[in-house]
């Protein structure tokens, strides 16, 4: 009985972890976002989005390294704020592209049509 309860708790505790990996596909580091996988986009549009994503990830990689090297809480908070600002700027660029293509983002979604 104890083994069954333990197995249930482990399963229930790890069930939501898959949601953290690019819609459950399990390749988070290689994920370029669900908006690129949209069937309504042309190859050129997907390439533009991929280019934006690659540039954004390079910028974020630098900040992640700085975050790991930071020792004080104030430094970490400042880096975290900068990361959030860059993320929002990136999504604004993506939204501007979608707007220029005439694709309307779904309410509550920053990634456009999914």
3-state secondary structure (DSSP) of residue 70: coil
Distance between CA atoms of residues 36 and 103, nearest Å: 13
CA distance linking residue 66 with residue 27, whole number of Å: 24
Residues 6 or more apart in contact with residue 80 via CB below 8 angstroms: 67
pLDDT bracket for residue 31 (50, 70, 90): very low
Average pLDDT, the chain: 77
C-alpha distances in angstroms, 65 versus 8, 59, 82, 86, 87? 37, 10, 13, 15, 16
Task: Please state the rounded mean pLDDT for residues 100-108.
Answer: 72
The domains of the chain are located at 1-31, 33-114
Query: pTM surpassing 0.85?
Result: no
pLDDT (0 to 100) of residue 48: 92
Q: What is the pLDDT of residues 33-84, one digit of tens each?
A: 556 666 678 899 999 999 999 999 999 999 999 999 999 999 999 999 999 9
């Amino acid at each position: 009985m104890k083994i069954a309860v333990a197995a249930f708790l482990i399963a229930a505790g790890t069930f939501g972890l898959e949601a953290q990996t690019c819609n459950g596909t399990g390749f988070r580091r290689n994920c370029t976002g669900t908006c690129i996988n949209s069937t309504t986009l042309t190859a050129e549009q997907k390439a533009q989005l991929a280019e934006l994503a690659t540039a954004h990830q390079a910028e974020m990689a630098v900040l992640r390294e700085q975050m790991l090297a930071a020792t004080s809480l104030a430094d970490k908070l400042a880096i975290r704020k900068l990361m959030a600002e860059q993320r929002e700027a990136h999504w604004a660029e993506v939204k501007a592209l979608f707007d220029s293509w005439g694709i309307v983002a779904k309410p509550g979604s920053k990634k456009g049509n999914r």
